[in-house]
Structure 1
Amino acid sequence: MLNRTSPDDNLLVKTTGGRIWTGAEASPFVEAILVEKGRVIASGALSSIESQLPGSLKVLEIGQGELAIPGIIDSHLHLAEGAKALRTVQLTDVNSQELFEKRLASFSATLPEGSWLTGRGWDHTLWGGELPTWEWLEGLEPPRPVFLARLDGHMALVSQLAMELAGIDESTPDPPGGCIVKDIQGRPTGILKDTAMELVQPPKREGGLLKQDFISGAKHLASLGITGAHDMWLPMEQLSTLRETCEKGELPIRLRVAIPAHERADLVAYVHEHGCGNEWLQWDMIKIFLDGSLGSHTAWMLQDYTDAPGDRGLVVTNSENLKRQVMECNAANLKVLVHAIGDAAVRNALDVFEECGPGQYRIEHAQHIHPEDLPRFSELGVISCIQPIHLADDARWLEDVLGEERARWSYPWATMKDAGATLAGGTDWPIAPASPWLNLHTAITRETNDGKNPGGWFPEQGIGLEYALKMMTQGSAMASGEGDCLGKLAPGFWADMAILNRDIFELPSSSLLEVEAVSTWVAGKQTEMQ
């Protein structure tokens, strides 16, 4: 690992009309902070710091209307997939079959003959709820294999050619934890749910191309004021490329990566030989899926879906297997990250954590929770890693799927907070935009994308600005076990910060969407942005 700080890396950050928010309880706003070798060594009034100034230092002025904050740490995203989304077809705004087919035809025309067409973001609720089929893709000229992930990443539409290449036909059984949707005659429709999506494999980007994705994705995040991120699904085969990229100093932000559960034995061996990383890159987390998503009707629920009697979603990992995997991770001192969206999945995860005893536990998403389980997060020391930005989309149709009573306990952030749970904030990019400010806006207002909830969807579950910001800084730092060195601009903490063009503490919530990062700093050095 290259030394990214040197003895002369001294920085004074001072206000000249703007403000500095440290995130520290004792002194949330200060006039200045002093940085030495990448860490804050003093904060407070400028007059109290001037006596400590070294002979040589750089000065960063926070000008009129600007605000310096601890850098945002996105606790849940997918770095390489996010970079891929920046260069593939996007369908998030498509609201009809006609526009769907037109968008794909236009993008397909830019691709070399024989290459795959990949993309993401479609949402069948925008055009009335009908799932697309492979026939929607038959107009492409020339024909090509197609893989299009739904908005939530738990369902995909694939072309007939892609299914032929994968050997999927009427006789193909559903894989464990997945579903190949078939019509009334037993023929695959082109829709694959959860683990069934793995049956179709577009060509992987490896070596230099994968490295480009890591760099471009990280620069995009840095441009938003993000100084650290937790990558939720890094296969072991990609870890060496990521390490090499980081060791050359080519990644502008800190990364913490989660390895897929089925590769946990490989990770244990790797950690035994190489350790768990350092302050820039760490690989000590295991990701386990319990269910899918609500939008795909694959979230594991305690009761039937209101709009689909008899359907309670998918169980991707049963209790027995989950317990075995958690015990193995605990024995290896690895952090356990469990994807659980439905209330049955959340309860199952909490039950297993309780049975397995003390560990480093996170539940990713925790969107729909039975009220009896809300206090258990605090009682068991389980961190809830949430993505407020998902509510803006899901709440448009959530009551139709779950009914009003269960919907009331969906995304119950305020109740979780009041019950003592530690919340960490992320975006799930590219499932949703990586914008921290859109995420912050939704956490506070609980407004939906369709504009039909101007006062907020179950607004009593919204959380205030300061807590939401701490959730996206300190909460995320705690989720990686680094609450003592990341997430604040206080003495002893790394000088990771974002300089914003607007003071968010003086803005109405509606103006949060206008916020931009003027510059982003990691360990006291300005990062490259894209």
Structure 2
Amino acid sequence: MTEHPARTVLLRGGTVHSPADPFATAMLVQGERIAWIGSDDAAASFADGADECVDLHGALVTAAFTDAHVHATATGLALTGLDLTDCPSLTTALDRVAAHAAAHPHHRVVLGHGWDSARWPERRAPSPAELDAAAPGRAVYLTRTDMHSAAVSPALLAAVPDIAALPGHEADGTLTRDAHHAARRAARAAVPPAQRRDAQRAALRHAAGLGIGALHECAGPDISDEDDLTDLLRLAAEEPGPLVFGYWAQALTAGDADGAARIRDLGAVGAAGDLFVDGALGSHTALLNQPYADAEGRRGTAFLDADGVAEHLTACAEAGLQGGFHAIGDAAVESVVAGARRVAERLGPTRLAAARHRVEHAEMLTPATVDAFAELGLIASVQPAFDAAWGGEEGMYAARLGADRARTLNPFASLLRAGVPLALGSDSPVTPLDPWGSVRAAAFHRTPEHRISVRAAFTAHTRGGWRALGRDDTGALLPGAPAHYAVWAAGDLVVQVPDDRVAGWSTDPRSGTPGLPDLSPGRDLPRCLRTVVAGRPVFTAPNG
């Protein structure tokens, strides 16, 4: 494979995963689009006219992945900086903070991500005093793995006037809700533009190396800032890499033409993403109908109610914008449904569904809210890696909710049966960028009745992300479609189904169904050899 893209490229000698031809072994790309898909024998007629002929040597070619929920700067800071995701204890985390602070004496703030006190023997977060001892006098900001709470040092607290009076300043020194948002803004403001750009570049390069051709950046005034979003979009436009589509999570009110115009001026494709209706289960801030099992009386936090949801979607309709919300707990999801239904009654269900409004995470669904998503045309932007990380009888979900409620979470099969479009993502750095891992997590959900086929999960992680953007011509290898694809070193290709009662896979070519890699637990995931966006290689593996 050559370093640079050619005008016309012929790939042959592999397996091309295409709904146009389940037996395809070759593909012709002209400029930014796929021109033809078929057999090696038929491809011979194109060889003389191609600027480049690529021998795949049996490799698999698929549509590039789309990650439908990412925080690129935070991802890059975790990749290049202080990553606490695998810390086995509080002591280890504090040691890492001390080492990182010592190694970066000129950083204005020590940033880290990924601590999870639920997995530590100490069962508590770092205190401000402990962080000050690890990094004397330094501003320290460490996000919990779900990014909905943080541990901070006294120096960072001092940078936020009156933070102790804000909701979410917890007795143990951790921050949630408004206090956390204020501390995050102070921490982000201390990151110089050059460091931020390096982090964004690292995130985009890492994504390209995983076969990801497009990212949905979920930005907003509470999760990042305007400069962060505009700098990311500018970087993505200037340098080869995945395409980036930005969402700006700012609540709009009816008649707020200036707010809608500002969202467009930022380059955002919608007023959606992390527009918080509630928080997260791990931080006890997801909004529940019944109290948490491990926090007596607590039911989480409401940031928006049904009235606020309806107001936002009405304003989006006036402005012609896609809207959406972050909703995890069952009560939060019900608020989204209630607000959306009011708008459907005023504007008509067809107009509401045509906007393809999104709900991020949507973890605690009931049969009634699943049906409502289908009725209202809502898209479920979901993260299967959440179940892999926190599901199961002994996982965080069970600890927070009890085993019975935990088993209801992330019902992907029910959503698909109801006709709800799924768009898969990672919420990186909450869980890592890992598209094949996400497909595996959906196909081998810890609760068997929620499993979906590998093919359905793959489609939700490719076409699903484009569908969530309102682009139905992208995300599959078809003649005429944009040439966003990835080349993989993969093992045997099979057709896997989500039912353990049957064999679970087939290699029978008579099925006419294109195969995908065997993602059974314990097997190696495919390795990316090349990622191409609009006909231009953005990643090539060494010797790839």
TM-score range, shorter chain: 0.7 to 0.9
1:87-138 CA deviation, whole Å, 9 max, x = no partner? 2211111222221221111111112167321101000111143333223213
- Helix, strand or coil for the counterpart of 1:514? coil
In the superposition, relative to structure 1, how do residues 406 and 524 fare at CA in structure 2: closer, same or farther (>3 Å)?
same
Matched to 2:209, the amino acid is S
> Given the alignment of the two structures, is residue 294 of structure 1 paired with residue 281 of structure 2, yes or no?
yes
Structure 2 CA distance for aligned equivalents of residues 210 and 142 of structure 1: 24
Distance 1:226 1:491 in 2: 20
TM-score by length of structure 1 reads 0.86
Counterparts in 2 of 1:526 and 1:93: CA distance versus 1, 3 Å: same
Alignment CA distance shift 1:476-1:54 (3 Å): farther
Structure 1 match to 2:143? 149
Using the aligned pairs only, state the percent identity.
28
Equivalent of residue 163 in structure 1, options 139, 146, 157: 157
Residue matched to 1:186:
none
- Say if 2:34 is the partner of 1:28: no
**How far does residue 337 in structure 1 lie from its aligned partner after superposition?**
2.1
Q: Deviations over 1:44-87 (max 9, x none)?
A: 223445446672421222213x2111000001111111111112
- The alpha-carbon distance between structure 1 residues 160 and 40, as it changes in their structure 2 partners (threshold 3 A), is same
Shift of 1:361: 0.7
2:483 to 454, 470, 495: 495
Asked if structure 1 preserves the Cα contact closer than 8 Å seen for 2:236 and 2:244, the reply is no
Residue identity in the other structure for 1:487:
G
- 1:517, 1:116 → 2: CA distance? 35
Shift, 1:409, TM fit: 1.2
Where 2:170 maps in the other structure, the secondary structure is: strand
Q: Equivalents in 1 of 2:200, 2:517: separation in Å?
A: 35
CA gap 1:243/1:363 in 2 versus in 1, 3 angstroms:
closer
136-145 vs 150-159, which moves further: 136-145
Query: Aligned pair 1:58/2:48, yes or no?
Result: no
Residue 160 of structure 2 corresponds to residue 173 of structure 1: no
Find 2:201's aligned residue among 206, 215, 218: 215
Distance 1:91 1:30, change over 3 A: same
CA RMSD, aligned part only? 2.4
Q: Could you say if the C-alpha distance between residues 508 and 365 of structure 1 is closer, same or farther in structure 2, counting changes exceeding 3 Å?
A: closer
Could you tell me which residue of structure 2 aligns to residue 516 of structure 1?
A: 527
Q: Is the 8 A contact 1:157 1:192 kept in 2?
A: yes
What residue is the counterpart of 1:242 in the other structure? 232
Instruction: Normalising by structure 2, report the TM-score.
Output: 0.84
1:42 and 2:36 aligned: yes
Contact 1:145 1:161 in 2 (8 A): yes
The separation in 2 between residues aligned to 1:422 and 1:289, in whole angstroms, is 21
Tell me, yes or no, if the aligned pair for 1:92 and 1:122 is still in contact at 8 Å.
Answer: yes
Q: Which residue, out of 53, 60, 66, partners 1:67? A: 60
Change (3 A) 1:265 1:133: farther
Query: Within 5 Å, which residues of 2 pair with 1:306-321?
Result: 306-321=293-308
Aligned to 1:495, the other structure's residue is in SS state coil
Corresponding residue pairs, total: 491
| CA–CA separation in structure 1 for the residues paired with 2:233 and 2:219 | 15
Q: Secondary structure at the match of 1:76?
A: strand
Letter of the 1:255 counterpart = V
Give the C-alpha shift of residue 285 in structure 1.
Answer: 4.1
SS at match of 1:197: helix
The within-5 A match list for 1:128-527 is: 128=121, 129-168=123-162, 172-175=164-167, 179-182=168-171, 189-200=172-183, 201-202=186-187, 203-205=189-191, 207-233=193-219, 235-248=225-238, 250-262=239-251, 268-270=260-262, 283-287=269-273, 288-357=275-344, 358=352, 359-395=355-391, 396-446=395-445, 457-484=446-473, 486-503=474-491, 505-511=516-522, 513-527=524-538
Deviates more, 1:427-436 or 1:238-247: 238-247
CA distance in 1, matches of 2:278, 2:47: 54
Distance 1:240 1:389, change over 3 A: closer
- SS of residue in 2 equivalent to 1:261: coil
1:107 and 2:100 matched = yes
Of 205-214 and 83-92, more deviation after overlay is shown by 205-214
Report the secondary structure of 2:269's partner residue.
strand
Q: Report the more deviating stretch, 49-58 or 338-347.
A: 49-58
Q: CA deviation at 1:37?
A: 2.0
Unpaired runs of 5+ residues, structure 2, are 345-351, 494-515
CA distance, structure 1, for counterparts of residue 236 and residue 390 of structure 2? 36
Counterparts in 2 of 1:209 and 1:122: CA distance versus 1, 3 Å: closer
SS at match of 2:175: strand
- Per-residue CA shift, 1:469-512, capped at 9, x if unaligned? 1110011110111122x110101211111111114535351255
Residue type of the alignment partner of 2:166? D
Q: Does structure 1 conserve the Cα–Cα contact (< 8 Å) formed by 2:29 and 2:535?
A: yes
Asked whether the equivalents of residues 383 and 424 of structure 1 are also in contact (C-alpha less than 8 Å), the reply is: yes
Question: Partner letter of residue 236 of structure 1?
Answer: E
CA distance, structure 1, for counterparts of residue 415 and residue 300 of structure 2: 24
Sort the Cα spacing of 1:494 and 1:98 in 2 relative to 1 into closer, same or farther, 3 A: same
Secondary structure at 1:93 match in 2 = coil
Q: CA separation of 1:336/1:251 partners in 2, compared to 1, >3 Å: closer, same or farther?
A: farther
User: Is the Cα contact below 8 Å between 2:132 and 2:138 reproduced in 1?
Assistant: no
Aligned AA (1:460) = E
- Counterpart for residue 347 of structure 2: none
Q: Which moved more, 1:142-151 or 1:36-45?
A: 36-45
- Aligned match of 1:185: none
Deviation by residue 1:169-222 (Cα, 9 ceiling, x = unmatched): 6xx3334xxx1102xxxxxx3200133212221134454443333322211100
SS of residue in 2 equivalent to 1:364 = strand
Q: Which deviates further from its counterpart, 459-468 or 501-510?
A: 501-510
Deviation at 1:166, TM superposition (A): 1.5
CA distance in 2, matches of 1:519, 1:91: 30
